[in-house]
Amino acid sequence: MPTRVCCCCSALRPRYKRLVDNIFPEDPKDGLVKADMEKLTFYAVSAPEKLDRIGSYLAERLSRDVVRHRTGYVLIAMEALDQLLMACHSQSIKPFVESFLHMVAKLLESGEPKLQVLGTNSFVKFANIEEDTPSYHRRYDFFVSRFSAMCHSYHSDPEIRTEIRIAGIRGIQGVVRKTVNDELRATIWEPQHMDKIVPSLLFNMQKIEEADSRIGPPPSPSAADKEENPAVLAENCFRELLGRASFGNMNNAVRPVFAHLDHHKLWDPNEFAVHCFKIIMYSIQAQYSHHVIQEILGHLDACKKDSPRVRAGIIQVLLEAVAIAAKGSIGPTVLEVFNTLLKHLRFSVELEANDLQAGSTGNANLDTSSKDSDEKIVQNAVIQTIGFFGSNLPDYQRSEIMMFIMGKVPVFGTSTHTLDISQLGDLGTRRIQIMLLRSLLMVTSGYKAKTIVTALPGSFLDPLLSPSLMEDYELRQLVLEVMHNLMDRHDNRAKLRGIRIIPDVADLKIKREKICRQDTSFMKKNGQQLYRHIYLGCKEEDNVHKNYELLYTSLALITIELANEEVVIDLIRLAIALQDSAIINEDNLPMFHRCGIMALVAAYLNFVSQMIAVPAFCQHVSKVIEIRTMEAPYFLPEHIFRDKCMLPKSLEKHDKNLYFLTNKIAESLGGSGYSVERLSVPYVPQVTDEDRLSRRKSIVDTVSIQVDILPNSIPSDDVVSNTEEITFEALKKAIDTSGMEEQEKEKRRLVIEKFQKAPFEEIAAQCESKANLLHDRLAQILELTIRPPPSPSGTLTITSGHAQYQSVPVYEMKFPDLCVY
C-alpha cells in the first residue's frame, strides 16, 4: 500500500507530488489511474520546468518500492515514466532523463528477472526517442556492462534464461542506437565497451544450429525471429553495429571477434568463424574491407605457432573475406596479402620438412603423419586463397602478382628469389617450388593477355623455364600448365585435352586469330627457349602419361597461338628430332618412354598437318599412322598410354615406313610454298647459361663446328692442308692474356657466347658469307681466275697461271663440355 497522508498535510504538499501520488491506486492490481495520469501529463507539458522534480519524486518512490518488493507499484511507476517521456520533448527533459535512467538502473540491478526485463523495455523505448540536442555528459557504461551480463544469463529456468538474454541483446541494441549516431559521443566504440558488447553478441550467435555457408550475403531475419530467437536477434544487432562503424572505429569492433574465437577455440572447426566474418564483410562499408583483411593477416601472424588446423581455419576465413572483398574495393593490401600468405606457406613447408627429417632419423611417433597431413591442409588453404584472390584481380594487378610469386620460386644457383629457404633443405625446397607453382597456376587461370609478350615477359619466362624446375615430373607438369594458362587466349585447351590421333581437327572448331607482329617478335626471341624446354621435357625418365599429354598440348597451343610458317617449320624439326632421339636412344630411356615420345610425335604431326592443310603432308602422316596401326600400335597414343600395352624389345629393326621421313615432309611442304631448307638441318637444343648452374647432366658434351672449303676432287699429293684446332682452353688462355685490351676481351666473349646460344643455321649462314667474302678479296688482289667447283660440295679451286692454290684453312673448333665452365 502506498503511504497516505492526512488532508491537512496533503494540501501543503507541492502540486506535482500530489499529482504523482494520485496516479497510484489503492490496489496495485487496478493498474495506473488513467484520469490522474492525464492530469499529470498535462501539468508536465504545461510546466516543463517541473519535469525534473516529477522525475526525482517518481525515482524516490520507485526505489522505495523496489527495496520493499512492491512489484505492482514498480510497474505503475515505470509506466508513468514511459508516458511522460514520450509526451515531453522540451529542453527541460534532460534532467528528467537522468532520473529516468537512474530508475532503469535500479531495475537492472535487482535480482528479479521480471524487473530486469521491465527496465530493459523502458530503456529501449527511451533509445528510440530522438533528442533535439545531444547530452555529451551522459554516459552508458553501466548499461553496457549490465546488458552484457544479461546476455550471458545462466538462469535455471530455460524460458526465463532466454527472456533475460533477449532483454540483454535488446538493451545493447538500444545503447548502440542511442550513441553511434552522434560522432561527438564516441565512447561506445572504446575498446573497453567493444570488449563487452561484441563477445556478448557472438556468444548468443553461437546458438545458430546451421552455420551459413553461402557465398552471398546472409538473409535478413524476420520480425518474429528477432523477438523470439536470441541468436537471430544478436546477429541482427551485430550487423547493425558493424554497419554504423566508421573508419576509425572499425578495428575496435573487429578485434574482439578474434579474442572470442580464440578463447572458445572456434577456429577448428571454423564454421562459426566463417559465418561471423561473412556477416562482417557484408555489413561494413565496402571501402573498409581492407581493414578487416589486415586484421585477419595480423591475427594469422600472431597464431603462427598454433596448431596447423587453427592456422588453416584462419586462412579459410581469410579466403571467405577475400572472396567478398575482391568484388569491391580491396585497397592497398594486395601485395601484403600475398606476401603474408607466401610467408606462412614457407613456414608450413619448413615445419613439414622438419617433421619428415625427424621421422627419417628414427624419432618419429604416431603424431608425425597426422602433423604432416595437417600441414598439407594449411598449404592447400594458402594456395586456394592465393588462387581465388589472384583470379579476381584486374589484369594489371594480376600480372604484378604473377611476377611477385615467380620471384619467390627458388631457382638453383641463383639468388634472384626472395623467399628464405635456408632452413628447408632439398626436400623442403622442392616442396616450396611445387606449392608456389600451384599458387601461380591458380593466379594465371583465366588470364587473357592481348599479346603473348604481356603474358610471358622475359623476366617471368626465364625462371619459369629454368632447369631447376625440370628435376621432378610434378614440377614440369605445373610449369607446362602455367604456360598453357598464359598461352591459351582463345580457350582451346579443353578441346585439346587428351593426347590422341584426331581424325578431323576441323571438328574441334579451333578458335585462332592472325599472328600479330608482337607475337612473331616473341617467337623470334624466345622460340628456341620454348623448343628446348619441350625437347628436354620429353626425354625425362620420370615422365608419366600426364607429362606427355601436357607436352602435346604445349606444341598444339604454340601452333594455334604463335605459329607462322617459320615457326611451323621449327616445330616440325623439333618433332623429327624427338623421333630421332627415341630411335637412337642416347639417353638410355626405357622402352615405354621411347614409345611415348613416338606417340607424342605422331599425335602432334597429325594435328599440325591438318592445321596447315597441306594435302601431301597430311597424306604422308596419315599413311605412317595407318601402317603403325597395323604393325606397331605401341607407337600411337591410344595404345601406349593404356594399361598393359605390349612393348617392343627394340626399335632398330623397324621398317622406315613406320617413321615420319624428313625428305618426304620437305617435299610435301616445298610444293606448297614453304621454305624447307631448314628442315634438312637437324634440331639441336641451344645451350644456355643456366646449364652451367644446373645440377642436371649437360645436354651437349662437345660442340664442334667445322667449316670445310677444301677441294675434295684434287689428289691428296697436291693438297696443302692447313687445319687449325681451337679448343676452349686455347680461347680461355687467349682471353686471359694480360696485355689484351678490354675491347678485344669483350669481342671474344661475344664470339664464344654466339657459338653457345645462336641456332646452327645462323652460324652456318654467317660462315658461308665470310667464306664468299674471302674469295672475292683474294680474286681482287691476285687477279685470279675463279673456276666454279664441279660439284655442289662446297669445294673451290683457285688457279693463277700454272700454279694452283689450295691453302685455304680448315677451322675446327671444339669446346668440350661447355656447360661445365
DSSP letters, 570-587, are: HHHHHHHHHHHHHHH-TT
Counting DSSP H helices and E strands in the chain, the numbers are 34, 6
Contact by Cβ (8 Å): 224, 287: no
Q: In sequence order, what are the residues at sequence separation of 6 or more whose Cβ sits closer than 8 angstroms to the Cβ of residue 560?
A: 490, 492, 510, 512, 611
Q: Which three-class secondary structure state does DSSP give residue 28? A: helix
Alpha-carbon dihedral 304, 310, 311, 313, rounded to 10 degrees: -160
Q: In sequence order, what are the residues at sequence separation of 6 or more whose Cβ sits closer than 8 angstroms to the Cβ of residue 647?
A: 591, 592, 595, 634
> Which phi and psi angles does 141 have, rounded to 5°?
-60, -45
DSSP strand E in 668-766: where? 702-707, 723-727
pLDDT at 331: 56
> Which phi and psi angles does 814 have, rounded to 5°?
-125, 130
Sequence length of the chain is 821
DSSP 743-794: HHHHHHHHHHHHHHHS-HHHHHHHHHHHHHHHHHHHHHHHTPEEEPPSSTTS
pLDDT at 392: 78
Chain Cα centroid distance, residue 655: 51
Contact by Cβ (8 Å): 430, 417: no
Q: What residues of the chain score a pLDDT lower than 50?
A: 1-9, 184, 209-216, 364, 366, 692-725, 728, 731-732, 734-735, 737-739, 782-821
Q: Torsion-angle region of residue 13: left (phi > 0), alpha (psi -120 to 50) or beta?
A: beta
Helix, strand, coil fractions of the chain, as percent rounded to 5: 65, 5, 30
What distance in Å separates the CA atoms of residue 381 and residue 314, rounded to the nearest whole number? Answer: 9
What distance in Å separates the CA atoms of residue 51 and residue 229, rounded to the nearest whole number? Answer: 38
What distance in Å separates the CA atoms of residue 232 and residue 531, rounded to the nearest whole number? Answer: 62
CB count, 10 Å around CB of 614? 22
What distance in Å separates the CA atoms of residue 621 and residue 200, rounded to the nearest whole number? Answer: 75
What is the residue whose three cell numbers read 584472390? 389
Q: Contacts for 207-215 with beta carbons within 8 Å, 24 or more apart? A: 207/231, 208/232, 208/235, 208/272, 208/275, 211/271, 211/272, 211/274, 211/275, 212/275, 212/278, 213/271, 213/274, 213/275, 215/323
- Give the torsion sign (CA, 88, 90, 92, 93): positive
What distance in Å separates the CA atoms of residue 27 and residue 73, rounded to the nearest whole number? Answer: 9
What distance in Å separates the CA atoms of residue 750 and residue 740, rounded to the nearest whole number? Answer: 15
What distance in Å separates the CA atoms of residue 323 and residue 510, rounded to the nearest whole number? Answer: 33
For residue 322, give the C-alpha cell. Answer: 577475400
Q: Which three-class secondary structure state does DSSP give residue 798? A: strand
Q: Which of 710, 708, 705, 707 is nearest to 731 (CA)?
A: 705
Q: Quote the crossing angle between the two packed helices 517-538 and 545-562, to the nearest 10°.
A: 160
Q: Where are the domains of the chain?
A: 12-134, 448-691
Q: In sequence order, what are the residues at sequence separation of 6 or more whose Cβ sits closer than 8 angstroms to the Cβ of residue 362?
A: none
For residue 463, give the C-alpha cell. Answer: 625462371
Strands 810-816 and 723-727: parallel
b/e map 565-583, b = 16+ CB within 10 Å: eebbbbbbbbbbbbbbbbe
Q: In sequence order, what are the residues at sequence separation of 6 or more whose Cβ sits closer than 8 angstroms to the Cβ of residue 649?
A: 591
pLDDT at 423: 63
Q: Quote the crossing angle between the two packed helices 113-127 and 141-151, to the nearest 10°.
A: 130
| DSSP state, residue 92 | T
Q: Contacts for 412-415 with beta carbons within 8 Å, 24 or more apart? A: 412/466, 412/467, 412/468, 412/693, 412/694, 412/695, 413/468, 413/690, 413/693, 413/694, 414/693
Q: In sequence order, what are the residues at sequence separation of 6 or more whose Cβ sits closer than 8 angstroms to the Cβ of residue 709?
A: 771, 794, 795, 796, 808, 810
Q: In sequence order, what are the residues at sequence separation of 6 or more whose Cβ sits closer than 8 angstroms to the Cβ of residue 417?
A: 407, 408, 409, 410, 411, 463
What distance in Å separates the CA atoms of residue 328 and residue 393, rounded to the nearest whole number? Answer: 10
b/e map 790-806, b = 16+ CB within 10 Å: eeeeebbbbeeeeeeeb
Strand partners, 798: 786, 805
What distance in Å separates the CA atoms of residue 252 and residue 292, rounded to the nearest whole number? Answer: 11
Q: List C-alpha distances in Å: 79 to 68, 86, 310, 487.
A: 19, 11, 51, 76
What distance in Å separates the CA atoms of residue 431 and residue 412, rounded to the nearest whole number? Answer: 14
Residue 235: how many CA atoms within 13 Å on its side-chain side?
A: 27
